Amino acid sequence: MKKHIVGVTGQAGFVGNHLYTTLSLRDDVELVPFERSFFENPSALSEFVSKCDTIVHLAAMNRHEDANVIFNTNVALVDKLITACDTASSLPHIIFSSSSQEVKDNLYGKSKLEGKKQFMAWSKKTGGKFTSLTIPNVFGPFGKPNYNSVVATFCHKVANGEEPTIINDAQVGLIYINDLVKVFIDAIFGDVKCIALDNNSFEVDVEPNHHIKVSKILELLLKFKSDYMGNGVFPNLEDYFEKSLFNTFRCYVPVDHYPVKYTKHTDPRGAFVEIAKTQTSGQFSFSTTVPGITRGNHFHTRKAERFAVIRGKARIQLRRIGTNEVINYDLDGEEPAYVDMPIWYTHNITNTGKEELITLFWINEPYDPEDADTYFENVE
């Protein structure tokens, strides 16, 4: 099978990282790694573009104290990419991340509009294919607080015990990062509805799929804080927006929040421990593990999961996909405790004791082999 070769400028950014890691899970895609330094190295940039069937141009500056710097930087990045294509005599399909801000009177929006015009001129001159995606406000895990979105800022502040401030309680249109990534992938493979701007240039107006007031977002996050972080209770995950917001929130929970110890009730009959309280459906299971054996080494992109050690000793390890830092939690059934698995974190559990390990698991979706949302990657 011939693979489609894709490069993503800005692959280390919020949207770029999600797109790059999602594409890495596909068997029909080969990724060409990109580094920001390529923009300062014409030969490296030309080599990059020459390898790609499709380039998704996400690299851009969003914020700066001087708006003119934003405009000049973003326009220059587009110009450098076009120059590299010309130098390499390469005609990749260029997919451009524009913004709903392009029709507004600010220099960030104007930089996006100017970039789109430059790519259209390149497309008309060379016959290369160009697609512009006009993107609304995006939210999801790993967004940068005070930079990417109000959701990222509020999640960070609420999870870390800070006081969020609502400046304008407006209704905002949002799209969840997983949904936006799907639009990009559909555009790469030509499966998205486009508006033809001319013979070789196309536009996709990406609509927000959630409309919600800022105060409602904060209300939900504060409830996650009290119910989930305070009492270990999973919210109802049937509503798609609330599940998406919850999975976003979980990625801002401080590392030292875990492991969370259970309340162990004992009497002459033995002991009783409540493992998980939920307002949603799901699947409970348990495993026994002999000493020295490791289970897991996989991650999920949408599922919420809890590991509860009730007998024996264990080490639970987590690592965010695309990073090297490993988080270690040591648990002992003498003081039963749990750790929850954030999405996009590969995780495992190892029996570090001398007796059989008993672990209880809860996950919010029953296992479906046709849509398992389970991807294997070693933590270490």
Backbone angles phi, psi at 34, to 5 degrees: -125, 145
CA dihedral defined by 121, 122, 127, 131, rounded to 10 degrees? -80
CB atoms within 10 A of CB 30: 17
Distance CA 65, CA 98 (A): 21
- The whole-angstrom separation of Cα 270 and Cα 268 is 6
Beta bridge partners of 351: 314
Among the listed residues 20, 108, 338, 345, the single catalytic one is 108
Distances (CA, A) of 336 to 132, 255, 276, 277, 348: 52, 18, 12, 15, 18
Query: Hey, what are 84's tokens?
Result: 């590299």
340: β partners: 306
Active site residue 108: yes
Q: What are the counts of helices (DSSP H) followed by strands (DSSP E) for the chain? A: 9, 24
Here the tokens at position 268 are 């002459």
Q: Is the dihedral of CA 97, 99, 105, 108 positive or negative?
A: negative
CA atoms of 27 and 93, how far apart (whole Å)? 20
Closest CA to 340 of 234, 248, 267: 234
3-state DSSP assignment of residue 70 = helix
User: Cα separation of 284 and 297, whole Å?
Assistant: 19
Give the strand pairing for 260-261 and 337-341. antiparallel
CB atoms within 10 A of CB 263: 8
- List the structure tokens of 291: 């000493």
Let me know: does 249 contact 224? Beta carbons within 8 Å: yes
Q: How far apart are CA 345 and CA 255, in angstroms?
A: 12
Tokens of 23: 């594409």
For the annotated catalytic residues, the residue numbers are: 108
